[in-house]
Amino acid sequence: MATFLTVFIASYVLHALGVTIGYHRLLSHRSFSAPKFVEYFWVMLGYLAFEGSPIWWATVHRAHHRHVDTELDPHSPRYGLKNAHVGWLMHDNYPDHINPATQAKDMVSDPIYKFLEQNGNWNRAHALNFAIGFTFRILILVFFGWQAALASTLAGFAVLQIPLMLNVICHIPKLGYKNFQSKDDSVNVWWVGILAMGEGWHNNHHTDPGSAQTGLKPWELDVSWMIIRAMKRLGLVWSVNLPKTALLKQLKETHFVS
């Protein structure tokens, strides 16, 4: 049991950070810059949590911000909770208004990401992701035993639920609070912030999506930001985007609560 719990917790944290730091703050928002070996390290940790093609993930997320809580938003709860959670995944290809060739130009030429993208065929890309993910767990089984393999697999699926859950919960106003007034439904949800390594401070994020830091108040724990800040001090990343000064001033002077 000790082996299982240790591997599960370690795997959960690492894969969750892969999603938040690699897929979200680095690829989707370019909130900081990093050498390729650092980028691939975090992105592959997220990929092994069954997150799908990095190009697909970043393109869809950028579309979410561009069309947030409108009919063109890929997963707004305004248009159905089932669609916001998993329904939007059940497509074969990109809808007409979402095109990685134009909306993810910074990624489409990368040979690794291009291979994982499988020419934009969602089913093939997801199948490849699951095949690689389960192959990784088979290797863990061979070298470290069934408890470690099972723990790693369950941690991967638990992390998979983070963005799927966040898409719904952090866009239902009554479930959280706002630090900033906004036209969209994004709210901060404290327990999502903890489980998602800082991603649950969603109203903060939608107010300033290019910032590498999302937890702004003292109690808004942002583990992903702590890691990014530590990497900057070590010289592993640079050009780290900080929260806008005007927003921090507004946060200090005014309190919006919903």
Summarised one tens digit per residue, pLDDT across range 40-91 is 999 999 999 999 999 999 999 999 999 999 999 999 999 999 999 999 998 8
Is 221 contained in some domain? yes
Is 17 contained in some domain? yes
Using the 8-state DSSP alphabet, how is residue 32 labeled? S
* Dist. CA 127–CA 160, nearest whole Å: 15
Is 174 contained in some domain? yes
pLDDT at residue 2, as a whole number: 87
What is the share, in percent, of the chain residues with pLDDT greater than 90?
Answer: 90
> Encoding tokens for residue 2?
């000790």
What is the residue range of 76's domain? 2-253
pLDDT value at 255 more than 80: no
For helices 146-169 and 2-17, the axis angle rounded to 10 degrees is 40
Q: How many structural domains comprise the chain?
A: 1
Is 65 contained in some domain? yes
* Look-up of token digits 């561009």: 66
Summarised one tens digit per residue, pLDDT across range 149-205 is 999 999 999 999 999 999 999 999 999 999 999 889 999 999 999 999 999 999 999
In the predicted model, what is the mean pLDDT of residues 205-210?
96
Q: pTM (2 decimals)?
A: 0.94
Closest by CA to 130, choosing from 51, 218, 237, is 51
Is 144 contained in some domain? yes
Is 258 contained in some domain? no
Where residue 257 falls among pLDDT bands split at 50, 70, 90?
very low
Instruction: Give residues with Cβ within 8 angstroms of 71, minimum separation 6.
Output: 79
